[in-house]
Amino acid sequence: MSKSIKFLTVTFFIGCGIFVIGNLLSKGFNYNTINDFLVDFFFYQLYTYVISYTNTQYFDYMKKREFRDYEVAKRIIYGIVGATVITLICIFFLRVLIEVLIYKIPFQVFIENESWKGYSFGLWITLSIISTFYVVYFYNRYQKNKIKEQKVIAGAASAKFDALKNQLDPHFLFNSLNVLTSLIEENPDNAQRFTTSLSKVYRYVLEQKNKELVTVDEELDFAKTYMSLIKMRFEDSIIFEIPEKASNPESKVVPLSLQLLLENAVKHNMVTTSKPLHIKIYEDGNHLVVMNNLQPKQIVKKSSGVGLDNIKQRYKLLSERKVYINQREKDFAVAIPMLTKQVSIMRTTQKSQERLNDDYVRARKRVEELKAFYYSLISYCLVIPFLVFIWYQFSRHTIQWFWFPMIGWGISLLFQAYRVYVDDGALGARWEERKIEEYMRKEDERSRWS
């Protein structure tokens, strides 16, 4: 359905509703002929179309204006004031068209007989529709902004994780080449073997850098290969202990975490034959610990900041479990979480927990909406009869003004009841969730094709 046809259809049904309300508030469908009925119905449709079209154009103009996020109140005031002025002008010209041009009433007589009564109903209806429209518009915009915000957060986290993983590739190569440079000067034969082994180790780096997690057994095997490279340089100056296999073959860690920790131990401690560096890898509960004796270098090269910080940040993005660092007088230890099969699907588990939380929030929200509806219904049943009594007691010879709050408040109650009791309909209890999913799907498709 094209935009113009959709607009005409919606406007027609709105006009029908206004026609019914207008007749209920005035003469109550007392038409002498069918022709009188059709003429009156046409005029109602004419008023509805002209006022709707002009206000829609004004609203489109307001959408193009640049309002800041904190200027919502300003935008609403501009919208309501502009809609009021536009509606009054439209009603005036339509009344001139009908009274002067169609019914041939002299313009001077028309002006003399003009009163607020000819404008009040049209303005009241317009402002009611405009107010409802603004509520729906800002609610939808709020939902879209929430979705965009969540996608930005998720995208930022994903990009950050990829950036952290991509740090490791040049970092590992740079440090390995530094070791190779030292070996070429000290032991050319070991340098040759180091180069061959380095190609095998680097293959692992390239294979694992796109993974979020690897098994502990894979990481232990890589640590053994990496330490064999280090021992080519330092020989007996490093004593290395490592388990053959993990106690739980399903346990996982972030890739290259052991390599970074081993590299840090060698980089920040003295490694000599008289003072060998002892490095031990072992399991402690659900953590994998890398511990070394503490014999810090007097002069340490400036750190690149990749090592421990990289591991901590990657774990922070994947899990709520923390990396523990323990420095004592004689040793230094880092414990990294081993994510078991149950924990490795933490995202799914968290989503399930979040879904439970969301269900609780939705249930609580539904109860609050139900309570609000009952309070509104009780208030309606108490206040409206009281207003009718006031009209009857003090102003029953004037216009039956109690119909305005009765109908307006009644329509609001119907919408509220629909929102609470209807699950699958438009604006029903599950409508918000469906709309969020729909917006997210559209955003994904738009991103995919742009």
Query: Encoding tokens for residue 48?
Result: 């509805």
Question: Which of the residue ranges 70-84, 307-321, 391-405 would you say has the lowest mean pLDDT?
Answer: 391-405
Per-residue pLDDT, 63: 78
**436 pLDDT more than 70:** no
- Report, as an integer, the average pLDDT of 293-309: 69
**408 pLDDT more than 60:** yes
CATH node for 166-344: 3.30.565
Which whole-number Å values give the CA distances from 4 to 8, 206, 307, in the listed order? Answer: 6, 57, 61
Question: Which of the residue ranges 230-239, 303-312, 397-406 would you say has the lowest mean pLDDT?
Answer: 303-312
| Residue extents of the structural domains in the chain | 166-344, 345-450
Is 347 exposed, middle or buried (CB count within 10 Å of its CB: 0-12, 13-18, 19+)? exposed
Per-residue pLDDT, 190: 72
What is the model's pTM?
0.43
Per-residue pLDDT, 450: 42
The DSSP H or E segment spanning 328 is none
Per-residue pLDDT, 333: 93
Per-residue pLDDT, 299: 63
Question: Which of the residue ranges 211-215, 365-369, 381-385, 386-390 would you say has the lowest mean pLDDT?
Answer: 365-369
User: Which pLDDT band holds residue 115 (cuts at 50, 70, 90)?
Assistant: confident
User: Which pLDDT band holds residue 288 (cuts at 50, 70, 90)?
Assistant: very high
Contact 413, 369 (CB under 8 A): no
223 SS3 class: helix
- pLDDT tens readout for residues 136-176: 777 677 667 666 666 555 555 555 555 545 554 565 566 66
Per-residue pLDDT, 210: 64
Question: Which of the residue ranges 15-19, 34-38, 342-346, 350-354 would you say has the lowest mean pLDDT?
Answer: 342-346
Contact 205, 170 (CB under 8 A): no
Residues 6+ apart with CB under 8 A from 179: 194, 229, 230, 233
Contact 64, 78 (CB under 8 A): no
Question: Which of the residue ranges 18-22, 351-355, 365-369 would you say has the lowest mean pLDDT?
Answer: 351-355
Residue the block writes with tokens 């996982």:
252
What is the residue-wise DSSP string for 165-189?
A: HHHHHHHHHHHHHHHHHHHHHH-HH
Is 226 exposed, middle or buried (CB count within 10 Å of its CB: 0-12, 13-18, 19+)? buried
User: Which pLDDT band holds residue 15 (cuts at 50, 70, 90)?
Assistant: confident
Query: Encoding tokens for residue 260?
Result: 């970074």
- Report, as an integer, the average pLDDT of 47-73: 81
